[in-house]
Structure 1
Amino acid sequence: MPTLSDLGHLPKRLVLGRAVRSDRLGESLLPKRYALPIFASDPLSSVAYATQEILIVLTLAGTAYLFLTPWLAALVVVLLGVLVLSYRQVVRAYPSGGGDYEVARQNHGPFAALVVASALLVDYVLTVAVSVSAGTDNIISAFPELAEHRVAIAVGLVGLLAALNLRGLRESGRAFAVPTYLFVTAILLMVATGLVRYFVTDAGLVAESAAYGVEPAPGYGEMGALALVLLALRAFASGCTALTGVEAIANGVPAFKPPKSRNAATTLTWMGGIAAVMFLGVSSLALLADVKYVEDACELTGFADCETEPQRTVIAQLAAATFGGDTSVGFFAVQAGTALVLILAANTAFNGFPLLGSVLAQDRYMPRQLHTRGDKLAYSNGILLLAGFAMLLIVAFDADVSRLVQLYIVGVFTAFTIGQWGMVRHWNRERSLESDPAVLARIRRSQAINLVGGTITSVVLVIIVVTKFTHGAWLVLVSMPLLIGLMKAIHRHYSNVSAQLVPDAETRMLPSKVHAVVLVSKVHKPTLRALAFARATRPDELTALTVNVDDAEVRALQADWERYDIPVPLTVLESPFREVTRPVVDFVKSIRRNSPRELVVVFVPQYVVGHWWENVLHNQSALRLRARLQFQPGVMITTVPWQLQSSIGRDAREDRSAPGDLRRGYTDDVDATPYG
């Protein structure tokens, strides 16, 4: 029959499944077919909203400049190719994981590494918020009646993603593979069908928004050459959202099956090629179908119900135009694939954030708990932390993609830039150590690739900061220094603690003598056992101690003490204000004050109960006392347990708990004590 403890663990087991032994870690390593959907779902899925973000910016000036869409998309694809080539060098040079953080730490020093870490941590949180919000938009495009539940749907989806990732890499890989490949197939089929429909058949390709007009925003009506350049640069910066997540494969090299570096480099190439084809295809179709998309639907002239009816996403409009309306099988297939992959694209962050957190924890810039693997060998604490921050962002920004995306990509391009220049330094160092002409030629080629990558990403970073600063990017630029300060404070704390714990002569010195103090509330079995244990340690002095908070009870205790002929004198501390903790602490302090080298061992009798509700039926004064005593130097606290009938057999039941439960706090610690 299941116990209360078993039932308490049931929800955890339903979410996570059975715990996995540490020696099975190698079984969770990923083949390329699973690594692609896990680590590359973010850049692949960004096809669903990157073109849309370009259109939002260009339509600020009306529809006259929408012809720039495919050209800007082509520039983004060129940048994608440069980044793929650059990160192929990173995964080969630094196969231990850590990506740009590791590159910066090795080549620029700790501060640059912290800048990269803060940028990536912020961007991972935004990746989850933006991807899930965009996925929610596509769900609403198919089912407009769900629009009022936007935030609740997005938050629930983040919770579901966290649960899937807590089950471990291999199981989440299977969960994400099918939707990712479905999305890629659906988009490629839509692009091919749309191009055939436009160029080969007479059916035409007309989006539902083609007939709408767009009034230029104030100040964008008549633009000079400089204003047009700034508009194009801002649209290009928005389109660069297609590049987020490229670095995730470099961060996740340790999760690949051997040969790790080669498999990671191959997966990077697959990701770049697929993303480039899809992004160019969607951007071209959007131009051919005359898609209009604005930040606020009421900016579309001719949109009858802009106040109540949500504007369909660009992907939804293209699917309807390509497959013959919003009731066709093709439309729902594209929408289903897009919604699923956008939601699951957050998995890139759910893998990158915990891995980076683990590396930072190992370097003592984050709490050590982030370096601990959970029941399914995933970094559970990092997953939960990421999910919590993403949910806060979604609630704060009402799951609005257009608002969230303004915060996006500043962090990731900061990491790109620092990482690429770090690789240039890395190859300089390698060149100085190498004399083989063939190897030197390869090093020069790799350095040239990273030099080009660093130059281009630096320019793009400046463009992004300038064009997005007043639109929300300032929040990221403020958050990053705060994170850096927090990480430095954590590192300083760990360093101070390490310095304090270095063994010295004083810590190896034996105490001059041992003074045992047994806390007494009444004469019963737990007290007598504590006294017996204290006597068995053969202390130099032994004191049985009680506090007088009630004269009648103390007189009864003294009478019992004499009646049982206990061979230890009973010391009574007076407490006119009926306090227990302060008189005992003062008594212990007085012993240490009179003899600083004396060790004081305080024995505390304790009930061990079998049911959680029994804890509240006993006085908690000894808990407060232990909490105070632990801050006193030269004092040890020894708990003497007394098992009540309800606890009999509890150890056998607890043996069925999962490995690591005690370490993570899944245990029924006893709070009640018979003292006080």
Structure 2
Amino acid sequence: MIRVSRPLASVKRIVIGRPFSSDRLARQRLPKRFAVPSFAADTVSALAYAPDEIILTLGLSGIGLFAWSPWVGIAVVFVMAIVVTAHLNVIEEYPGGGSDFVVARTNLGPNAGRLAGAALVTDYVLTVAVASSQAGAYIGGAISPLAPFQTGMAMAIIALLALVNLRGARESARLVSLPVYTFIALITITLVWGGIEACRGTLGLSPHAGSYPEPGEGEPVALTALGGALVLARAFSSGLPVVSGVKAITNTVPVFRPPKARNACITLVISGAMTAVLFLGVMLLALATRVSLSPREAEGARVSEATPVLGQIAEAIFGAGSLMSLAMLAMATLVLCIAANTAFTGLPVLTAALARTGYIPRVFASRGDRLVYSNGILLLAGLAEIVVLATGANITLLIHMYIVGVFMTFTIGQLGMFRHYTKKHRVAVRLKERQRFARKRAVSLVATVCLALVLLTVATANFLLGAWVTLAAVAFMWAAMTIISRYYSRIFSKLALGHDEDLGRWPIAAPAPLDGKDPTRGIVLLTQLNRPAIRAIKDAMASPHLSLQAVAVKTNDSAIDTLSTEWLRRKIPIPLRVINSPYRALLAPLDDYVRSFTRTYPRDAVVVYIPEFLVGHWWESIMHNHVLRRVTTRLEKYECVTVRRVPWDLDGSEHEASIASYTNPAVKELAP
């Protein structure tokens, strides 16, 4: 018997690690001590660039609007409070994950669900692009020779994060915990010490204090002419990334330890409150120390590139070149490198939900070797790499693109929650229940109106600066999801068996050959019970075999339980053998079973029947896993094994296509 070498599998094991069995899934759940830094990394890391963008935007009008920076910060925190409060209800009502996508699809219909899903995918991709690009900028600012390679560094960070997450959610959470906790501690110490000095009247000023530009300096005059209101709106938009991390928690409730919903709510409140306090503290100290990030030259260096806001605050409090200021910048750089980890945790869960709903290819619903949705991780990494390369890692452009999709998702989700509570209030009987649902409905209504106004503001202020790209991307993905959903609906209607559908007469098996030819034993490989499977079973029963059985593999995500129930209910006259696959693979268990079968009956040839359906266009093949085709390729390598593919034409009912046979030279006489 021929054994196939697997060099690629060996490389994969070295890079990613040994596979985890499905019974270890519970051990991959995140406790709160790991969940808080893992999910707070997205929002906390925004402190390393959101204040910079606010102050830089306000600096366009000179010192006049700079005094408004704390008020912009308060507006951002107000929005965060609304989002956190509203999403506590989302976690309570939809603890299965999926966040605003599930809410919109369930309460507003499939079109709204696809729109929310498309916006969420865009959010996650841009989250990775923003965080990795800013990390590359920090590294380039600290190490001058690397400055021209900011785009390349951002892409390298994305690749590294993808690799870490492919090794498993718990391992990636452990890696990010220490840097995030350290970064939070450094900011807290800085704010507390700065507050004490401010109360004493001994607070120093930033080394770059007072380097404000005149109106129009460093930017086109046309931009300044838009007026203070537009500048404030853009500054407000630039600070909203600190709110975006909420989606990661509500989308990934299943990765928390039980009680999942309660732990997710606690994590959301802690992350939101902590980020809001730190963000307001940074904005107030930035005003008190007269931080400046103007694009003008100051002492031979561009201030905005030389020292970010956190660095200038630390210099004002602890002194220029102090250990604390250097540690703050170094840790901010490290946290930015891992901030995208929240997206690598959230988007694969989202794509799995989209795949199970039939909005994207089903391959994204399968867990990989390390109990993570590997295909979703690879998709996120690939799309983020493309965005970074296309934008040249321009952080300002990426933020303008980013924030529109975030609030589109929030708005759609809260509109869905309003309708959800309206339905519950309508059918509630007890007075206390009606009052509780009325309060929650009021929260959802207020959140919907406020978030819609924020969405309108950021879309208007940033439309020409990059928001239109996000809107176009969301529209494109919505259209693609619609096409894929209709395709799967058509396929299901053609392949699925009706509950009481007559399967026709089962053929009477022909007697085994007695003329000296090698006897054969038949195996029908199945993944589900549908029309192509019934066709393969009937073809196998009509052929002469010493024995015949159907074989299916039970994985964590398969529908084998349903198959077994239907098998008994429909009284299919051949035995069904179910193979358990603890590592969620189909190919290896089937391969091992067939090889063991040939060892059990060494004198008999084995005929393996594989049902398949024929698609009409090349792009339709992307929608299917084709795992049984890979089984065909593997089994062709073995002696005494014949593989017969039983085709089903989707364009006809029971198309009489000839059976394609792949036969080894040792058993050529078995081919029809």
- Short-chain TM bin: 0.7 to 0.9
- Displacement of 1:439: 2.6
Partner of 2:337: 343
Deviation of 1:642 after TM superposition, in Å, equals 5.5
1:256–1:263 contact (8 Å) kept in structure 2: yes
Q: Tell me which residue corresponds to 1:636.
A: 659
Q: What is residue 72 of structure 1 aligned with on the other side?
A: 72
Quote how far apart the aligned CAs of 1:194 are: 2.6
CA shift at 1:10, angstroms? Answer: 3.5
TM-score, normalised to structure 2, is 0.75
Which residue of the partner structure matches residue 430 of structure 1? 424
Question: 2:253, 2:401 → 1: CA distance?
Answer: 27
Paired letter, 2:298: G
Work out which of the residue numbers 304, 316, 332 in structure 2 matches 1:321: 316
- Asked whether the equivalents of residues 507 and 541 of structure 2 are also in contact (C-alpha less than 8 Å), the reply is no
- The amino acid that maps onto 1:608 is K
Q: What is the CA-CA distance between 1:639 and the residue it aligns to?
A: 2.4
User: Structure 1 residues 530, 629: closer, same or farther in 2, change over 3 A?
Assistant: farther
Matched to 2:319, the amino acid is G
Q: 2:221 aligns with which of 216, 219, 222?
A: 219
Alignment counterpart, residue 304 of structure 1, candidates 296, 300, 313: 300
SS in 2 for 1:129: helix
Distance 1:184 1:605 in 2: 52
Structure 1 position 449, deviation (Å):
1.8
Deviation at 1:495, TM superposition (A): 1.3
Matches of residues 431-446 of structure 1 in structure 2 within 5 Å?
431-446=425-440
Structure 2 CA distance for partners of 1:322 and 1:643, relative to 1, 3 Å = farther
Aligned equivalents of 1:345 and 1:449: distance in 2? 30
Q: What does residue 597 of structure 2 align with?
A: none
Measured in 2, the distance between the counterparts of 1:160 and 1:86 equals 34
Deviations along 1:642-672, one digit per CA (max 9) or x if unpaired, are 689xxxxxxxxxxxxxxxxxxxxxxxxxxxx
Contact 1:35 1:173 in 2 (8 A): yes
Aligned to 2:167: 167
Q: 8 Å contact 1:606–1:642 — kept in the other structure? A: no
Q: Is residue 459 from structure 1 mapped to residue 459 from structure 2 by the alignment?
A: no
Structure 1 position 437, deviation (Å) = 2.5
Matched residue, 1:87: 87
CA contact (8 A) 1:413 1:461 kept: yes
Question: Which amino acid in structure 1 is aligned with residue 331 of structure 2?
Answer: G
Deviations 1:290-309 (A, max 9, x none): 22224xxxx314352449x9
- What secondary structure does 1:58 align onto? helix
| Aligned pair partner of 2:388 in 380, 394, 407 | 394
Shifted more, 205-214 versus 248-257: the winner is 205-214
Give the conservation status (yes or no) of the 8 Å contact 2:509–2:541.
no
Question: Matched residues in 1 for 2:65 and 2:543: separation?
Answer: 89
Please say which of residues 412-421 and 131-140 is displaced more in the overlay: 131-140
- How far apart are residue 627 of structure 1 and its match? 13
For the 8 Å contact 1:100–1:418, the answer to whether it is kept is yes
- Give the letter for the 1:435 counterpart: V
Q: Is the 8 A contact 2:648 2:657 kept in 1?
A: no
Alpha-carbon distance, 1:376 to partner: 0.8
For residues 182 and 274 of structure 1, the distance between their equivalents in structure 2, rounded to whole angstroms, comes to 14
CA distance in 2 between counterparts of 1:441 and 1:316 reads 50
- The question of whether the paired residues in 2 share the 8 Å contact of 1:530 and 1:640 is answered with no
Q: Distance in 1 between matches of 2:91 and 2:167?
A: 26
Deviation, 1:270, is: 0.2
- Residues 91, 265 of structure 2: 8 Å contact kept: yes
**Aligned residue pair count:** 546
What is the percent sequence identity of the aligned residues? 36
Aligned partners of 2:243, 2:633: CA distance in 1, in Å? 61
The TM-score, its normalising length taken from structure 1, stands at 0.74
Corresponding position of 2:581? none
**Mapping for residues 499-648 of structure 1, pairs under 5 Å:** 499-503=493-497, 508=504, 608=637, 633-641=656-664
Q: Distance in 1 between matches of 2:172 and 2:280?
A: 29
Post-superposition shift, 1:316? 2.5
Task: Tell me whether 1:108 sits opposite 2:108 in the alignment.
Answer: yes
SS in 2 for 1:366: coil
In 2: Cα distance, 1:630 partner to 1:36 partner:
51
Aligned to 1:584: none
> Are residues 630 and 487 of structure 1, via their aligned partners in 2, closer, same or farther at CA, if it must alter by over 3 Å?
closer
Which runs of no fewer than 5 residues in structure 1 stay unpaired? 515-527, 541-602, 611-622, 645-674
Question: What residue in structure 1 maps to residue 192 of structure 2?
Answer: 192
- Structure 1's 457 and 513: CA in aligned 2 closer, same or farther, altered over 3 A? same
**Alignment check: 8 A CA contact 1:316 1:331 kept:** yes
Question: Mean Cα displacement is larger for which, 114-123 or 59-68?
Answer: 59-68
Secondary structure of 2:227's counterpart equals helix
Measured in 2, the distance between the counterparts of 1:315 and 1:240 equals 18
Q: Distance in 1 between matches of 2:272 and 2:352?
A: 27
Specify the code of the residue in structure 2 equivalent to 1:208. Answer: P
SS in structure 2 of the partner of residue 409 of structure 1:
helix
CA distance 1:100–1:629, shift in 2 (3 Å): closer
| Residue equivalent to 1:293 | 293
SS in 2 for 1:97: coil
| SS of structure 2 residue aligned to 1:608 | coil
Distance verdict in 2 for CA 1:265–1:605, change over 3 Å: closer
Query: Following TM superposition, by how much is the alpha carbon of 1:271 offset from its aligned partner in structure 2, in angstroms?
Result: 0.7
What per-residue deviation string (whole Å, max 9, x for no partner) do you get for residues 153-200 of structure 1?
Answer: 111111111111111111111111111111111111122223334442
Report the residue type matching 1:641 in the other structure.
N
Q: State the Cα distance separating 1:35 from its structure 2 match.
A: 1.3
User: Aligned partners of 1:483 and 1:31: how far apart in 2?
Assistant: 34
SS at structure 2 position matched to 1:155: helix
